[in-house]
Amino acid sequence: MPIAIVSDIHSNLEALSVVLAKCDELGVSEIRCLGDVIGYGPDPVAVADIAIERFSVSLMGNHEEALVTGKHRFNPYAAQAIDWTRSQLRGGSNAITKMFSRTAPDRLAWFSERKPFELLDNHLLVHGSIYDPVHDYVDEPENPVEAEQMIETLERDFAGFDLCFAGHNHTPFMATRIGTLFPHDAHNTFVLPKGHKAYVCVGSVGQPRDNDPRASFATIDGDRITFHRLAYDIATTQAKILAAGLHEFLAERLGEGI
Ligand SMILES: [Fe+2]
């Protein structure tokens, strides 16, 4: 049975819902999340509750870290959104709401307990990179020097695991020793023989940034990795972002996939 790997949901309930429906259709045995369940988006409570209930793994992303520590280097849009997210997860600032939320799961405590990485089945799971699992970005090599550096990384530093699944860059691709592979609708499944080293960047469920606004995630079934793109009701998410008082840029970018 395939395993689903998701990342960067960013409180986008509409995007997560279509991904969960696809996971059910595929019969995945478990869903592993690489972090950034919350931040930016309008449904942190509903999305957190799904993460708590359905994900077998859910890592510490930089937005979880900002949520629970208050420390970050975010731009103003992200900073406002994480403060708003914290207030929502606490049950709002209203005293009556707080009273009724006492029986709710302590979502902030759950987020504070997230691990920065997991090593499972010869796979390293991180939000960022193998060098800094929470903050660093895996960038797609853009010239021969960067391509060589990526090969060095894979050959020298992928020790004790073959594949590293990463999020954070919101862009689906695989960096392998023979080059960078970008999935597209006509070719979205790749076979990686045992022992082949690669970064598998699964893209973002709730805020893709590769100029394709559809939700992105991956599944792995033996040596086959499949990248999935799914359309969802972006207009509803955008309307909720504006209604919550979050910055309009956070709504606009969803429509463009940037
Ligand atoms: Fe993210």
For the chain, the structural domain boundaries read: 3-256
Q: Is the pLDDT of residue 174 over 80?
A: yes
* Contact yes or no for 167/36 (Cβ under 8 A): yes
Q: How far is the CA of 127 from the centre of ligand 1 (A)?
A: 8
Q: How far is the CA of 178 from the centre of ligand 1 (A)?
A: 27
* pTM of this structure: 0.94
Q: How far is the CA of 227 from the centre of ligand 1 (A)?
A: 18
Q: How many residues does the chain have?
A: 258
Q: How far is the CA of 152 from the centre of ligand 1 (A)?
A: 26
Best CA proximity match to 89, nearest among 134, 37, 54: 37
Residue 100 and residue 37: Cα distance in Å, rounded? 24
Q: Is the pLDDT of residue 157 over 60?
A: yes
pLDDT digits (tens, 9 = 90+) for 24-55: 999 999 999 999 999 999 999 999 999 999 99
* Contact yes or no for 209/170 (Cβ under 8 A): yes
Q: Is the pLDDT of residue 100 over 70?
A: no
Residue 196 confidence (pLDDT): 94
Q: Are strands 179-181 and 172-176 parallel, antiparallel or unpaired?
A: antiparallel
CA end-to-end span of the chain: 33
Q: How far is the CA of 99 from the centre of ligand 1 (A)?
A: 32
Q: Was domain 3-256 assigned CATH 3.60.21.10?
A: yes
Amino acid letter for position 175: A
